[in-house]
């Protein structure tokens, strides 16, 4: 871990604890800072605050006092989830006090080079692919950020022999100043998190911070087929590697129906990629380009692409049973995500959908329903899905109460060669606390099927 003179013997406020705030506070304390932590959760119920107090840090819990900044802090490190409209953060900005997220701290203390991945969709899959490719090539990667361990905890232990692969959200990136990944990946930009950001412009500007400090010695891997991403890429000083999934190109990495190309030269057969769907092809190309920039062999890349069947709950292949293949896409909590999953299949699909009715339209699914031979639906949206399925003339539309009943029905109406896909297009909260718990039930039912 690098020393950080900017915080030595300086008063630092850590705003918001949870895992990232607790890790940042402890590291700042170890670096010689005078750390105060402030968290809205009462001290009696706050294990993190109790732990930090035992380490000798100043702890203020239960509220955010109006006079908190009068202590003369030279820096604030805030939890990414705390919005910039928070009174303490807004006042800090007014006073010119720098406000970081812990990702900035992680970058500054890290002895290891960093790879950063962001975008509206596909971050977790791409991050995992890159990590696995680096591991297969014996590059000693560590994984951090929104996926895996808190970035500061990873950076503290990493050496110059490691590579830190970091999934980065707009929340985290907005609080960075000097962040300069060796490779940054910008997958795509769609409207998201507008309850946190003032508008789409602020959201996309936050994403751009992943490459803002890069120079020609660094690389930016970006979506060459989305105009807004291309426009942002032109502002970057990094060496640029676009990816394309609509056909062979002479620059960057591209794919047609048969091959993946590197600067127009055949790299490997596209058929070796185990992941399904256009969106996953984008993720695979972005990961491959990143791995090549980190001197991974093509053999290591192929090894991963041919065996990686998806991140848990994201079009995750579970098993084949009596000629049927089961996929868990419980993370698909809206129609756009389910559309992406359906797009990846040419075989007949038994689609299991349903959950919390958020009032959104299912019309985005219509172009891909020609491959759905049965829709088995359940939960709070079952009446809407029944009408939708019938209106679209899906051959079989079946309504049940629970996911368990839907699973049994889907298995019953399926045939050899079918895909049985859990891709709910709805949130889970009517019957499950999270999409992860929903997905785990599906996985367990698939594994329990007897031959």
The single residue listed with the structure tokens 């702890």 is 59
**How would residue 196 be classed by pLDDT, with cut points 50, 70 and 90?**
confident
CA atoms of 324 and 336, how far apart (whole Å): 25
CA atoms of 416 and 271, how far apart (whole Å): 22
Instruction: State the pLDDT at residue 145.
Output: 83
Which residues touch 138 (CB under 8 Å, ≥6 apart)? none
Percent of the chain whose pLDDT exceeds 90: 87
> Which pTM value belongs to this model?
0.86
Instruction: State the pLDDT at residue 142.
Output: 97
Please indicate whether residue 358 or residue 230 has the higher confidence score (pLDDT).
230
For residue 298, how far is the Cα from the chain centroid? 25
Instruction: State the pLDDT at residue 350.
Output: 98
Domains of the chain plus CATH, in order, are: 11-100 (3.40.50.720), 110-305 (3.40.1190.10), 316-448 (3.90.190.20)
Instruction: State the pLDDT at residue 197.
Output: 82
Annotation-wise, does 119 bind a ligand?
Answer: yes
Annotation-wise, does 122 bind a ligand?
Answer: yes
Mean pLDDT of all residues in the chain?
95
Instruction: State the pLDDT at residue 110.
Output: 98
pLDDT, mean of residues 343-349:
94
Instruction: State the pLDDT at residue 316.
Output: 92
Which residues touch 176 (CB under 8 Å, ≥6 apart)? 100, 101, 103, 104, 107, 209
Instruction: State the pLDDT at residue 191.
Output: 79
Q: For residue range 367-386, list pLDDT tens digits in order.
A: 999 999 999 999 999 999 99
Instruction: State the pLDDT at residue 334.
Output: 87
Instruction: State the pLDDT at residue 263.
Output: 97
Annotation-wise, does 439 bind a ligand?
Answer: no
Annotation-wise, does 124 bind a ligand?
Answer: yes
Instruction: State the pLDDT at residue 198.
Output: 79
190 pLDDT higher than 90? no
Q: For residue range 288-334, list pLDDT tens digits in order.
A: 999 999 999 999 999 999 999 888 898 999 999 999 999 999 999 88
Annotation-wise, does 123 bind a ligand?
Answer: yes
206 pLDDT higher than 90? yes
pLDDT, mean of residues 13-23:
93
Which SS3 state, helix, strand or coil, does residue 347 take? coil
Instruction: State the pLDDT at residue 274.
Output: 93
355 pLDDT higher than 90? yes
pLDDT, mean of residues 26-55:
95
For residue 256, how far is the Cα from the chain centroid? 26
Question: What is the per-residue burial (b if ≥16 Cβ within 10 Å, else e) of 119-147?
Answer: bbbbbbbbbbbbbbbbbbbebebbbbbbb
Q: For residue range 68-83, list pLDDT tens digits in order.
A: 999 999 999 999 989 9
Q: For residue range 213-244, list pLDDT tens digits in order.
A: 999 999 999 999 999 999 999 999 999 999 99
Instruction: State the pLDDT at residue 216.
Output: 98
CA atoms of 419 and 446, how far apart (whole Å): 13
Least confident stretch, 23-37, 229-243, 344-358: 344-358
Q: For residue range 131-162, list pLDDT tens digits in order.
A: 999 999 999 999 998 777 899 999 999 999 99
CA atoms of 122 and 437, how far apart (whole Å): 21
Annotation-wise, does 120 bind a ligand?
Answer: yes
Q: 368 to each of 145, 303, 336, 381, how far by Cα in Å? A: 34, 31, 11, 20
CA atoms of 147 and 161, how far apart (whole Å): 21
Please indicate whether residue 360 or residue 238 has the higher confidence score (pLDDT).
238
pLDDT, mean of residues 45-49:
94
């Amino acid at each position: 871990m690098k020393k950080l003179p900017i915080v030595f013997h300086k008063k630092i406020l850590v705003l918001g604890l949870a895992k990232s705030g607790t890790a940042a506070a402890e590291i700042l304390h170890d670096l010689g800072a005078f750390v105060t932590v402030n968290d809205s959760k009462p001290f009696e119920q706050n294990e993190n605050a109790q732990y930090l107090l035992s380490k000798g840090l100043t702890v203020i819990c239960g509220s955010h006092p109006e006079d908190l900044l009068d202590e003369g802090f030279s820096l604030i490190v805030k939890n990414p989830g705390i919005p910039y409209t928070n009174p303490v953060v807004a006042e800090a900005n007014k006073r010119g006090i720098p406000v970081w997220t812990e990702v900035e701290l992680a970058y500054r203390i890290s002895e290891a080079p960093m790879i950063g991945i962001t975008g509206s969709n596909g971050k977790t899959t791409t991050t995992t692919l890159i990590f696995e490719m680096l591991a297969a090539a014996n590059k000693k990667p560590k994984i951090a950020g929104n996926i895996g361990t808190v970035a500061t905890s990873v950076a503290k232990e990493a050496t110059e022999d490691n590579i830190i692969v970091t999934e980065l959200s707009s929340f985290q990136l907005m609080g960075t100043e000097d962040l300069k990944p060796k490779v940054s990946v910008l997958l795509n930009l769609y409207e998201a998190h507008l309850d946190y950001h003032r508008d789409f412009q602020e959201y996309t500007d936050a994403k751009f911070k992943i490459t803002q400090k890069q120079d020609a010695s660094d690389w930016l891997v970006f979506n060459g087929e989305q105009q807004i991403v291309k426009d942002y890429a032109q502002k970057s000083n990094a060496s640029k590697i676009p990816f394309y999934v609509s056909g062979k190109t002479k620059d960057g990495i591209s794919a047609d129906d048969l091959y993946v190309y590197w600067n127009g030269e055949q790299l490997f057969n596209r058929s070796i990629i185990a992941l399904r769907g256009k969106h996953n092809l984008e993720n695979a190309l972005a990961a491959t380009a990143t791995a090549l920039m980190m001197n991974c062999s093509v053999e290591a890349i192929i090894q991963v692409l041919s065996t990686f069947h998806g991140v848990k709950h994201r079009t995750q292949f579970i098993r084949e049973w009596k000629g049927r293949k089961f996929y868990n896409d419980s993370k698909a909590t809206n129609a756009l995500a389910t559309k992406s999953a359906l797009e990846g299949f040419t075989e007949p699909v038994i689609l299991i959908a349903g959950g919390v009715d958020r009032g959104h339209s299912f019309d985005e699914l219509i172009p891909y329903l020609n491959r759905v031979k049965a829709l088995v639906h359940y939960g709070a949206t079952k009446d809407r899905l029944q009408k939708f399925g019938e209106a679209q003339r899906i051959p079989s539309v079946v309504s049940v109460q629970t996911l368990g009943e839907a699973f049994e029905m889907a298995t019953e109406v399926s045939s050899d060669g079918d895909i049985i896909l859990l891709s709910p297009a709805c949130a889970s909260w009517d019957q499950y606390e999270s999409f992860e718990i929903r997905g785990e039930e599906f996985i367990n039912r698939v594994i329990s099927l007897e031959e």
